[in-house]
Amino acid sequence: MTKSPVDTPINTRTTSRLGWLRPSWPTVHYPAAVVSEARDVTITRRHTLSLLAAAIAVGGAGVTSACSATAPSSAGTPGGSATSLKPSTAPLTTGPPASITPAGGPGTAPATSRAPAPGVPRSAPARADIVARYAGLAPREWGLEPTGIVQALGTTGVRDKAVALTFDLCGGPTPTSGGNGYDADLVELLRRHDARATFFVNARWARANPRLMDQLIADPRFEIGNHGTQHLPLSVSGRKGYTEQGTHNPGEVYDEVMGNTELLTQLTGHAPRWFRSGTAHYDEIAVKIVGDLGQRCIGFTVNGDAGTTFTAPQVVSAVRTAKAGDIVISHANRPPAQTAEGYAVALPALLARGLRCVTLSDYLTG
């Protein structure tokens, strides 16, 4: 994702109609089947989404076929950060989070006041206990699907055609990093279709976006999952996920999980149930540690945007493959990408097939 750097300076961004900062809109090409006035036109992203919504309302089937593309490869970077991203070496911050200011928005439920909850769940073992329990153990597995990862909802669709949409908010090393962006159009698209979803939020993103974090927490359609403290692949031996350096030992695994657990518990009033590591890479020992800390590691069966590297037609092709029981991974923190354009076509197509969008907690037990 070299064209979407994580350290895009804030002064290159413009204010959108929804009131928050975001990078300038890229241009996107769609065929005449989507825009009937021209055979091949270049339009802005905002116009694309409005035209797609109008076309879907008139005849969604035609739009879906017009934007379809050859099924993309599953290769990509699910973590959603550019290859140049280096994990922050700053010490974990376990104090009170940035204040959360209620802020209304289109389609957003009003925020309610929440009393701070204890930073660490009482049932979670201490760091020293985890270090002692797993000291000296050597992992045998590494990647996206080690033993213990939850890959699907467990429903076959015979009785309930449910699919879980999950979106990562990966954060970045500074408050103005591109990884701390917010794809407002994508989130509003979910609200417009009343689509439930799980957002995996990194601690850096939550601290950089307190108002937006408050809106996501307050929206009853959405639930919040743990995307780590510094967006690190989860390893007890220093493995890398793609080019991102992972944790090196059980103590660092604990820090990566529990640093953000404390923050999310304070913000939401309860500990998160679901965890997804940076780049979604783990070894099986790290997965066990997450389980000991009261959370389950979530993988995916459908790679919706390959770390925001897919074009809109590729997003459509990927997401349209989702079937009952699947978990779809995508990203909501890079508005310059074409994830929202793809979902503007793919989401109505999923719903038209009778699929129902659910949160992980609707089907899984923690």
Q: Tens place of pLDDT for every residue, the chain, 366 residues? A: 333 333 333 222 223 323 332 333 333 333 334 333 333 333 345 555 555 545 444 343 333 322 222 333 333 444 443 333 233 333 333 333 333 333 333 333 333 333 334 445 557 899 999 999 999 999 999 999 999 999 999 876 667 899 999 999 999 999 899 999 999 999 999 999 999 999 999 999 999 999 999 999 999 999 999 999 999 999 999 999 999 999 999 999 999 999 999 999 999 999 999 999 999 999 999 999 999 999 999 999 999 999 999 999 999 999 999 999 999 999 999 999 999 999 999 999 999 999 999 999 998 976
User: And the tokens for 281?
Assistant: 């890479």
Three-state secondary structure call for residue 79? coil
**Do 213 and 264 touch, CB atoms closer than 8 A?**
no
**Do 268 and 225 touch, CB atoms closer than 8 A?**
no
Asked if residue 285 is part of any domain, the answer here is yes
Q: What is the C-alpha to C-alpha distance for residues 337 and 136, in angstroms, rounded to an integer?
A: 42
What is the dihedral sign for C-alpha 232, 233, 238, 239?
Answer: negative
Asked if residue 5 is part of any domain, the answer here is no
What does DSSP assign to residue 350? H
What does DSSP assign to residue 298? B
How many domains does the chain contain in total? 1
pLDDT of residue 159: 72
Q: How large is the angle between the packed helices 184-192 and 339-352, nearest 10 degrees?
A: 10
**Do 130 and 294 touch, CB atoms closer than 8 A?**
no
pLDDT of residue 43: 38
pLDDT of residue 117: 40
pLDDT of residue 157: 66
Which pTM value belongs to this model?
0.72
Asked if residue 333 is part of any domain, the answer here is yes
pLDDT of residue 52: 55
Burial class (CB in 10 A: 0-12, 13-18, 19+), 180: buried
Range of the domain at 41: 10-86+123-362
Count other C-beta atoms under 10 Å from residue 106's C-beta: 12
pLDDT of residue 224: 98
Q: What is the C-alpha to C-alpha distance for residues 80 and 188, in angstroms, rounded to an integer?
A: 20
Asked if residue 215 is part of any domain, the answer here is yes
Q: What is the C-alpha to C-alpha distance for residues 125 and 122, in angstroms, rounded to an integer?
A: 8
E strand map for the chain: 13-15, 21-23, 27-31, 40-44, 162-169, 197-201, 222-226, 240-241, 244-245, 274-275, 296-297, 302-303, 327-331, 356-358
Q: What is the C-alpha to C-alpha distance for residues 196 and 204, in angstroms, rounded to an integer?
A: 24
Q: What is the C-alpha to C-alpha distance for residues 248 and 120, in angstroms, rounded to an integer?
A: 23
**Do 203 and 259 touch, CB atoms closer than 8 A?**
yes
Query: 182, 109, 202, 190: which is closest to 337 by C-alpha?
Result: 182
Report the CATH number that the domain containing residue 67 is assigned in CATH: 3.20.20.370
- Amino acid sitting at position 69: A
pLDDT of residue 158: 66
Asked if residue 101 is part of any domain, the answer here is no
Asked if residue 4 is part of any domain, the answer here is no
Q: What is the C-alpha to C-alpha distance for residues 44 and 175, in angstroms, rounded to an integer?
A: 27
Asked if residue 156 is part of any domain, the answer here is yes
Asked if residue 155 is part of any domain, the answer here is yes
Q: What is the C-alpha to C-alpha distance for residues 60 and 310, in angstroms, rounded to an integer?
A: 22
Cα dihedral angle (283, 288, 292, 293), rounded to 10 degrees? 20
Q: What is the C-alpha to C-alpha distance for residues 242 and 281, in angstroms, rounded to an integer?
A: 9
Q: What is the C-alpha to C-alpha distance for residues 273 and 359, in angstroms, rounded to an integer?
A: 12
What is the dihedral sign for C-alpha 186, 200, 252, 238?
Answer: negative
**Do 296 and 302 touch, CB atoms closer than 8 A?**
no
pLDDT of residue 328: 98
